[in-house]
């Protein structure tokens, strides 16, 4: 198959590329704003530099997807968190541009990386299936944008009748994303070794979220590319991760602090540009439902190979060790590099995009 992958250099994208290269027999095209250099598997994938946040990409994007059997749309942005216009332009606008290109060129199958974040808030901790409403969590811009992308897919399916598959994973992790996740989670001037000295974790103990390994998400994508079932698939590993589990992974003691108080501290730090995670992520963490993955297991034959606690442990280990990959998104994190980037482009939360 000729498969085009947007966001091919990110956390999920790198795993999908690995999976499809290992499977063999495919002509792969990777789309990213910043394509990898000589260290990438250039002989196994063709790269195209496309900025999906801008309408000017239309012709280049159409040329890239023309003749594809399937497009796997993974591109999304989490930073700069203070530039909501850009986040919407890439997440929602980029999805619209991909749909336009797929429709114009007649691609038969679109696999879209949605998210647990598209779901409406939970009522309790009973796992929900794919029929749970996808209206998002109103105070999380990430969630609102994921829900808006779902509405674009609804309209596209209704108007075009094309095959659309929607993957809705829990929190996706892998070791090589350690540097990238820590770059988003800690101010750049704070070294990663601070994680070795977290003795107390102030969190509301009601937190419980599903996680899944990037390689297992990639496996579900590959299975769906072959089976072409369409529809939505929840993806998560058991058991879900609790606040106590996070504290244990960090070697810390969980300190019971109500989410409302954590939110105040988080908001203050974000508005002061001390850290780059806004309060929407905290609201989302306490609102997302647990996931019933029966459909993926039954119809795709999908089974996660790494359990939720091991995914958490791998991510924390990757953060501590500064694990990375050979792409701009998954590049190594260092205090010196963060300071250099801050001088040249601004902080992560407000950065200009070269």
pLDDT of residue 38: 60
Partners of residue 1 on adjacent β-strands: none
Residue 22 lies in a domain: yes
Shortest CA distance to 11 belongs to which of 149, 167, 176, 145? 176
Residue 350 lies in a domain: no
Number of domains in the chain: 1
pLDDT of residue 188: 78
- How far is it, in rounded angstroms, from Cα 233 to Cα 220? 9
pLDDT of residue 344: 64
The alpha-carbon radius of gyration of the chain (Å, integer) is 19
Q: What is the CATH number of the domain that holds 72?
A: 3.40.50.720
Q: Name the H helices within 8-140.
A: 11-23, 58-65, 84-105
The region that residue 67 occupies, defined by phi over 0 for left and psi between -120 and 50 for alpha, beta otherwise, is left
Partners of residue 166 on adjacent β-strands: 112, 232
Residue 137 lies in a domain: yes
Which residues are CB-contacts of 118 (< 8 A; sequence separation ≥ 6)? 134, 136, 143, 146, 147, 149, 150, 168
Residue 209 lies in a domain: yes
Which residues are CB-contacts of 351 (< 8 A; sequence separation ≥ 6)? 79, 80, 341, 345
- Domain enclosing residue 50, as ranges: 2-340
Q: What are phi and psi of 306, to 5 degrees?
A: -125, 125
DSSP string for 138-189: TT-HHHHHHHHHHHHHHHHHHHH--EEEEEEESEEE-GGGHHHHHHHHS-TT
Q: Name the H helices within the chain.
A: 11-23, 58-65, 84-105, 141-160, 178-185, 214-227, 243-250, 259-271, 279-287, 294-295, 308-321, 335-345
Residue 351 lies in a domain: no
Which residues are CB-contacts of 278 (< 8 A; sequence separation ≥ 6)? 81, 141, 266, 267, 270
Residue 73 lies in a domain: yes
- How far is it, in rounded angstroms, from Cα 167 to Cα 118? 11
* 110 contacts 71 by C-beta, under 8 angstroms: yes
- How far is it, in rounded angstroms, from Cα 236 to Cα 173? 11
* 189 contacts 339 by C-beta, under 8 angstroms: yes
Taking the CA atoms of residue 147, residue 164, residue 29 and residue 83 in that order, the dihedral angle to the nearest 10 degrees is -10
Residue 346 lies in a domain: no
Could you tell me the mean pLDDT of each successive run of 10 residues in the chain, 354 residues long? Answer: 97 96 95 80 82 96 97 95 95 98 96 98 97 98 98 92 94 95 84 90 97 98 98 98 97 96 94 91 97 98 98 96 90 79 61 51
Residue 353 lies in a domain: no
């Amino acid at each position: 198959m000729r498969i085009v992958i947007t966001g091919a250099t990110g956390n999920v994208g790198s795993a999908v590329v690995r999976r499809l290269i290992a499977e063999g027999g495919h002509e792969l095209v990777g789309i990213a704003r910043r394509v990898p250099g000589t260290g990438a598997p250039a002989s196994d994938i063709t790269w195209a530099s496309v900025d999906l946040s801008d309408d000017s990409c239309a012709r280049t994007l159409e040329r890239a997807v023309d003749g594809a059997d399937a497009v796997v749309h993974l591109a999304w942005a989490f930073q700069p968190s203070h530039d909501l216009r850009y986040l919407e332009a890439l997440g929602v606008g980029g999805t619209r541009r991909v749909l336009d290109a797929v429709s114009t060129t007649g691609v038969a199958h679109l696999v879209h990386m949605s998210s647990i974040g598209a779901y409406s808030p939970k009522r309790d901790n009973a796992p929900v299936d794919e029929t749970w409403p996808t209206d998002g969590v109103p105070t999380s811009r990430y969630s609102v944008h994921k829900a808006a992308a779902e509405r674009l897919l609804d309209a596209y399916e209704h108007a075009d009748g094309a095959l659309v598959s929607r993957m809705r994973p829990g929190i996706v992790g892998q070791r090589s994303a350690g540097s990238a996740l820590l770059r988003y989670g800690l101010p750049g001037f704070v070294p990663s070794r601070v994680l070795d000295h977290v003795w107390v974790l102030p969190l509301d103990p009601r937190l419980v979220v599903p996680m899944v390994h990037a390689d297992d998400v990639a496996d579900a994508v590959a299975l769906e590319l072959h089976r072409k079932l369409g529809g939505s698939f929840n993806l998560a590993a058991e058991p879900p991760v609790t606040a106590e589990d996070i504290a244990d992974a960090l070697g810390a003691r969980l300190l019971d602090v109500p989410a409302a108080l954590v939110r105040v501290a988080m908001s203050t730090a974000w508005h002061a540009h001390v850290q780059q995670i806004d309060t929407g992520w905290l609201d989302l963490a306490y609102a997302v439902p647990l996931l019933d993955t029966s459909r993926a297991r039954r119809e795709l034959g999908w089974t996660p190979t790494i359990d939720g606690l091991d995914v958490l442990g791998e991510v924390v280990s990757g953060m501590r060790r500064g694990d990375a990959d050979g792409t701009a998104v998954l590049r190594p994190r260092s205090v010196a590099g963060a300071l250099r980037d801050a001088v040249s482009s601004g902080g992560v939360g407000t950065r200009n995009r070269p």
